[in-house]
Structure 1
Amino acid sequence: MTHKWLLALFAFFPSFALAHAGQQGLILLLPTQIYILSGGLAVVLTVVLAAFMKHRFLKTLFTPHPIAPLPAARQIFTSLASTFAFFAMIWLGLFGPHDPLANLMSLGVWTGVWIGLVLLCGIFGNLWAWLNPWSGIFALLAGKDPSPPFQLPESIGHWPAIALLMGFNGFGIASAAATDPQLLAILGCLYWMFTFVMMMLFGAETWLQRGEFLTVFIGLLAKISPFQRGETLNIGCPGWRIAQSPTPSLSLALFALILLGTGTFDGLNETFFWLIQLGINPLDFPGRSAIVPQTLTGLIVVNIGLCVIFYLCVWLTAPAKQTGELFRRQALTILPIALAYHFAHFLPSFLVDGQYALVALSNPLNNGADYFNLGPFFVTTGFFNTTATVRVIFLSQASGIVLGHILAILLSHRVASDFFATRRAVLISQIPLSAFMIGYTILGLWLLATPKGA
């Protein structure tokens, strides 16, 4: 066991735990050390509290309760409406305003879907199942998921979704043209057609659940929601569906970890720290196009590093024959952290771009129309200029990160209780993972306040 604990020391060394958190246009002139210490202590206390919880209490905590029966509902109409809205955005991207802050294609992708819809699904459940722009039109043209001409091999797992997720995030993080409306419209149209063809070839349900990265991404984060809609409306502690999930495939477990790793790098690559490592003066940033290879390499390395470190944390204390299964189960417990970082990172930009999106909805062609009767409307960033409002934003981000880690720790203990018979065994098994999460909390809060240069 000695060699395992030596590896643990390297795994938990702070220089490796590069957490992802916030995004801001100024340096927070607040006593952030106090918040970082307080957040870290809150997570530590959660670890201690969870260590004394009985197996029965942990299982009860993550057991849902049926609220009311629900009528059967068809998603075809909402999906068709979403398809219409999507192609309206495509048209606006091609022929509408060239300014990304006035075009609903850019604002719809990055503000409406990537921030707003993802967060709503994390809170209220899988709304994407009702809103994806393929299911409705597929049902109209092909019927109820007819037998496809080809079978997607089980060995492929969720690797297509992983490849598409990495490609999408690489484009969003590294490309200087990531918000260009025309380019987004072209890529969005091509992706819609690609997905529809793959649904025809391999079956709608199969491709959406294993190959379409947004469906897999949002489906995982929706497991955090306390709500589940089925024959009845069920409600429970946030994350109860993670606690009760069957063991995922290795590729789905890696997909969950990559969500966190990508969020980590998305925050890291904007910092002075990262730019200095690249030999770039943060105050004279040359632009994204000058560091595309370094950015993509960093994205890949951080994701690989996170997966390896997380595996080591499980392997150090797992029963030899159950290491793989426990790793796959525990990988899902970090989903609350991934959602928390998503919220913390994008909150400042959502506060601003959400205003631009409202204006664009009222005036989609940027021709002076005012369908929402907004009148003279000026987008404001004034809340970044006063200590009081910045404090509220920072505390909201920090609270989200701490709560995400607390929930992840409780879920991790709940999953461990399925593999270890006694509280002592659960506690020992959680030492590496708890240290990992505590370190991630502290560095995540630190990154909220660290200066950004990209």
Structure 2
Amino acid sequence: MAATRRRRRVLAAGLAALTLAAGPAVGRVLAHGGSLGGDAGRTLDVPTWLFLSTGGAVVGVSFLLSSFATDREFVARVHAYRRRVVGPNADRLATLGQAVGIVGLLLVIGVGVLGPIEPRRNAGVLLVWGGWWAGLAMSAYLLGNAWPVIDPWRTLAGILPTGDRDPSRLPVAPAWLSTVGLLMLFWVEIVSPLADAPRLLATVTLAYTAVALAGAVAFGEAYFTQVDPVARVFRLYGAVAPLTWEDGLRLRPPGAGLTADLLRSRGEVGFVLALLWGTTYDGLVATPPWARLVRTVVAAGIPPAIVYPLALAVGYLIFYGAYLLAVRYGAQFAETRRGEAELARRFAPSLLAIAAGYHVAHYLGYFLTLAPALAAALAMPWGPGPPARLVLPGWFGGLSLAFVLAGHLLAVWVAHGVAYELFPSRMQAVRSQYALTVVMMLYTMTSLWIVSRPYAAPPFIS
């Protein structure tokens, strides 16, 4: 068992090194110091309805094209393809990754308390919102999941006396605790001044540290595998990646890991939808239509403190409900005896490709733009030097649209592969995806609409 864990650390440790070499910086600064739409600063040369309907049609056509791939053995071979990759020394890179995680945590807290007040000069702020939530998160689905090695709370838990209580015995299922925790993280990120207040960010980081270590003391490793929302996000994003550890470091087709039976409960399905909706919500609140809507609602007498969490909760229920409805209709169209719960579990991982595509569309521009600022801040954490910025070419903003479409096209292909695993009949497999494809088309059009909007600061947020 120990040998297996050491082998698995090769992948995460190697990816940690690649992540460090790739450099940093975007985020909410940064997050809502400018959204992807504002960064691009573009306007559409075609009517919006035509632009959105074209994007939706691309997804619909991809479904039609994938339905022609009826050779089950071919589809299975594509998803099962693996090529061994020579990996670096696992133990050394694992030690390095753990050290980097601990140093990063101390830096966020220390520089947050003692460093510059200005967020774009503060290494802690840049490291959290740029290097971690943007850069490291992108590396999880573009390369592979290095978080188990870098995770500082997991490393600290390894030197503490930990218990072995079963999280499943809690009054609320662990996956639903993760879901609520993830939605709360999105809410805090958007409505609080964490990106502008290094001292507050350090305080929140300390609080999260206390919660994580308390969970580890009570539940041991099970806390990180079943409860911790951050660890669950990185683990699921890692299933999208082309690198995996399967008896060695191996290369596989992007998204191939999503065809496996990843999810075990409806709560885990709910978590996937929370990740998809939270990433969408993060972009939605930085659009001009949202700003107008919020001002109208607040003028009608509803406090801003209620508007944002209410919209987050209602939007999540809409996304979740739309997915379950699509699964129900899919089961009816396929005329299958398989239960809706099973179908919901198996098809939900395909949505992770959509979440990944939107995440990279939302954050890549800032990651590249602010990389020099983070590098300078890390070199001189307490230095007063002005933050540098990388100016991106004008055409770069259009890549966001390509990333959104790429994520949705990958999701369609993954769902197609899962359907052929579940159903013996070709027509059953195709019919089971009718409603899900419609939902994906709506997701596509929503995402494209968000990334095509200019940036507008979310109103009533201090």
Does the TM-score normalized on the shorter chain lie above 0.5? yes
Q: What does residue 289 of structure 2 align with?
A: 273
Residue correspondences, number: 410
Q: Is 1:259 matched with 2:278? A: no
Q: What does residue 149 of structure 2 align with?
A: 130
Match of 1:343 among 354, 360, 371: 360
Give the distance between the partners of 2:194 and 2:157, measured in 1 at CA. Answer: 31
Match of 1:366 among 383, 392, 408: 383
Q: What does residue 53 of structure 1 align with?
A: 69
Q: What does residue 417 of structure 2 align with?
A: 414
In structure 2, relative to structure 1, the CA distance for the partners of 1:139 and 1:447 (3 Å cut) is: closer
Mapping for residues 304-319 of structure 1, pairs under 5 Å: 304-318=317-331, 319=336
Give the distance between the partners of 1:451 and 1:71, measured in 2 at CA. Answer: 44
Mapping for residues 20-419 of structure 1, pairs under 5 Å: 22-25=36-39, 27-31=41-45, 33=47, 36=52, 38-54=54-70, 55-68=72-85, 73-74=90-91, 75-142=94-161, 148=163, 150-153=165-168, 156-203=173-220, 205-280=221-296, 291-318=304-331, 319=336, 321-367=338-384, 379-380=388-389, 383=392, 389-390=393-394, 392-419=395-422
SS of residue paired to 1:158: helix
Structure 1 residue 217: Cα displacement? 0.4
Give the distance between the partners of 2:257 and 2:376, measured in 1 at CA. Answer: 38
In structure 2, relative to structure 1, the CA distance for the partners of 1:327 and 1:68 (3 Å cut) is: same
What's the CA shift string for 1:153-182, capped at 9, x where partnerless?
A: 256231222222111110111123443111
What's the CA shift string for 1:21-73, capped at 9, x where partnerless?
A: 94315751342557645533432221111111122222222113141575873
Q: Indicate conservation of the 8 Å contact 1:80/1:137, yes or no.
A: no
Give the distance between the partners of 1:420 and 1:106, measured in 2 at CA. Answer: 49
Give the distance between the partners of 2:352 and 2:130, measured in 1 at CA. Answer: 21
Give the distance between the partners of 2:108 and 2:387, measured in 1 at CA. Answer: 23
Give the distance between the partners of 1:254 and 1:195, measured in 2 at CA. Answer: 22
Q: Indicate conservation of the 8 Å contact 1:122/1:221, yes or no.
A: yes
Q: Which amino acid aligns with 1:102?
A: R
Moved more, 344-353 or 420-429: 344-353
Q: Indicate conservation of the 8 Å contact 1:340/1:404, yes or no.
A: yes
Give the distance between the partners of 1:111 and 1:186, measured in 2 at CA. Answer: 18
Q: Indicate conservation of the 8 Å contact 1:59/1:414, yes or no.
A: yes
Give the distance between the partners of 1:279 and 1:69, measured in 2 at CA. Answer: 56
Give the distance between the partners of 1:246 and 1:85, measured in 2 at CA. Answer: 30
In structure 2, relative to structure 1, the CA distance for the partners of 1:65 and 1:87 (3 Å cut) is: same
Give the distance between the partners of 1:425 and 1:184, measured in 2 at CA. Answer: 51
Give the distance between the partners of 2:388 and 2:69, measured in 1 at CA. Answer: 49
Structure 2 gaps, min length 5: 1-34, 458-462
Give the distance between the partners of 2:46 and 2:192, measured in 1 at CA. Answer: 32
TM-score by length of 1: 0.83
Q: Which amino acid aligns with 2:325?
A: L
Give the distance between the partners of 2:446 and 2:187, measured in 1 at CA. Answer: 23
Q: Indicate conservation of the 8 Å contact 1:32/1:449, yes or no.
A: no
Q: Indicate conservation of the 8 Å contact 2:241/2:254, yes or no.
A: yes
In structure 2, relative to structure 1, the CA distance for the partners of 1:138 and 1:305 (3 Å cut) is: same
Q: Which amino acid aligns with 2:396?
A: I
SS of residue paired to 2:84: strand
Structure 1 residue 110: Cα displacement? 0.6
SS of residue paired to 2:167: coil
SS of residue paired to 1:228: strand
Q: What does residue 439 of structure 2 align with?
A: 436
SS of residue paired to 1:117: helix
Q: Indicate conservation of the 8 Å contact 1:40/1:442, yes or no.
A: yes
Q: Which amino acid aligns with 2:165?
A: F
Q: Which amino acid aligns with 1:114?
A: W
Moved more, 395-404 or 23-32: 23-32
Q: Which amino acid aligns with 1:397?
A: S
TM-score by length of 2: 0.82
SS of residue paired to 1:105: helix
